[in-house]
């Protein structure tokens, strides 16, 4: 009897711990934005352009310059990524 009661308490504790871990996970929108930024960074790197993502987040002129370069690119994937990133960043600012 004691072992069954102990298992129930242990399972309840695990469930409560899992629920707490889920609340600290980033929102789905944040994860999508992060993936978009990683994609943007690597598409630029493929063209020989290296971007400082910390500065990209802090310096609007720096970010605008890279977004403009990406939108003028011959790469359809980079143009699409830049447009999507710009849209997502604008939506998060509102």
Q: What is the pLDDT of residue 94?
A: 45
User: What pTM was computed for the model?
Assistant: 0.64
Q: State both tokens at 56.
A: 């990209």
Three-state secondary structure of the chain: CHHHHHHHHHHHHHHHHHHHHHHHCCCHHHHHHHHHHHHHHHHHHHCCCCCCHHHHHHCHHHHHHHHHHHHCCCCHHHHHHHHHHHHHHHHHHC
pLDDT of the chain, 94 residues: tens digit per residue: 555 555 555 555 554 555 455 555 557 788 888 999 999 999 999 999 999 999 998 999 999 999 999 999 999 999 999 999 888 777 654 4
Helices 60-71 and 28-46: crossing angle, nearest 10°?
Answer: 60
Q: Where are the domains of the chain?
A: 28-93
């Amino acid at each position: 009897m004691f072992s069954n009661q102990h298992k129930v308490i242990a399972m309840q504790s695990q469930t409560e711990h899992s629920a707490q871990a889920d609340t600290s996970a980033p929102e789905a929108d944040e994860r999508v934005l992060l993936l978009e930024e990683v994609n943007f960074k690597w598409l630029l790197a493929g063209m020989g352009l290296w971007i400082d993502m910390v500065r990209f987040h802090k310096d609007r002129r720096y970010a605008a310059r890279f977004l403009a370069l990406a939108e003028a690119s011959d790469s359809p994937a980079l143009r699409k990524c830049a447009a999507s990133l710009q849209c997502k960043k604008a939506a998060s600012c509102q």
